[in-house]
Amino acid sequence: MSYPPAPWFTHGHAFVAPYLVRVADLRLPEGLEVVNPGRFTVGLLSYVVYEAPSPLQYDELIWMPAFVRDRRCGPGAKGWYVSVMYVNDGTTLAAGRAIWKLPKTLATFDRSADEVRVDGEDGTSLALRVKAFGPTKTLRASTTTLQANDGKTRVRFRASFKADVSPGSMSLTRFDTRHPPFMGLAGARRAPGPAVVQRHFESTMEEPVFLPRV
């Protein structure tokens, strides 16, 4: 399967909620470690909807249990570790696995008003309650992920975006899974403060970089 060349330009909206994750509950790939670990670290649960004119239109649920690094790959080997990612489109599933080495799994997404239900083909069933409130502010930011590829390299992916941001809420109302990579979420608790809602974003996704050991 062939894919259009980088960079990729996407549009959509998203909800992001921070969680306090017990570091003892994490089982990261060999070589990855939590940056600035204590008893707890911060994880992010995100629900993203990619809309036209994005190259693909689909829904996505992401669990990133920690911000990590791999000292063996140099000081630039840092980013959010994606342990679970559900999507409802076969093309992005294949691209995510092939290009970014992301653990994408097919799922169905059903949204009605402020409720979102996600049913993965691995048997996981989740339900979210999401809501945006308050005024918006336009912000620019970037994010980086770091994934395991094999025993010798890591895959670093960066995206920059402009978004109309407001406070909001996002809570798990159902969490039924036997999927081990949902590491830390069962015992995590919502961090204080509201969720972040990107009511509209425009993102530039860069080509991933493979980082060998140094």
pLDDT, tens digit (0-9, with 9 covering 90-100), for 28-38: 999 999 998 89
In the chain, how many domains are there? 1
Query: Is residue 3 assigned to a domain?
Result: no
The token duo for 162 is 């402009």
Structure tokens at 161: 């975006």
2 belongs to a structural domain: no
Residue 68 lies in a domain: yes
C-alpha 68/C-alpha 205 separation (Å) is 20
| pLDDT exceeds cutoff 90 at 180 | no
195 belongs to a structural domain: yes
- CATH number for the domain that contains residue 207: 2.40.400.10
Q: What is the mean pLDDT of residues 124-147?
A: 97
Band of residue 1 on the pLDDT scale cut at 50, 70, 90: low
In a domain, 89, yes or no: yes
Amino acid at 202: E
> How far apart are the C-alpha atoms of 40 and 174, rounded to whole Å?
23
Integer Rg of the chain from CA: 17
Range of the domain at 165: 8-212
Residue 1 lies in a domain: no
Q: Cis peptide leading into 194, omega within 30 of 0?
A: no
pLDDT of residue 3: 76
Cβ-based neighbour number of residue 189 at 10 Å = 10
Neighbours of 86 (CB within 10 A): 26
Instruction: Specify whether the CB–CB gap between 86 and 68 falls below 8 A.
Output: no
Distances (CA, A) of 118 to 57, 108, 140, 157: 17, 6, 29, 25
For residue range 16-27, list pLDDT tens digits in order.
Answer: 999 999 999 999
Cα separation, 87 vs 65, whole angstroms: 18
Cis omega before residue 7 (within 30°)?
yes
Q: Are 170 and 126 in contact (CB under 8 A)?
A: no
What distance lies between CA 17 and its chain's CA centroid?
11
In a domain, 176, yes or no: yes
Domain assignment of residue 31, yes or no: yes
Report the DSSP pairing between strands 125-132 and 115-120. antiparallel
The model's pLDDT over 61-110, given as tens digits with 9 standing for 90+, comes to: 999 999 999 999 999 999 999 999 999 999 999 999 999 999 999 999 99
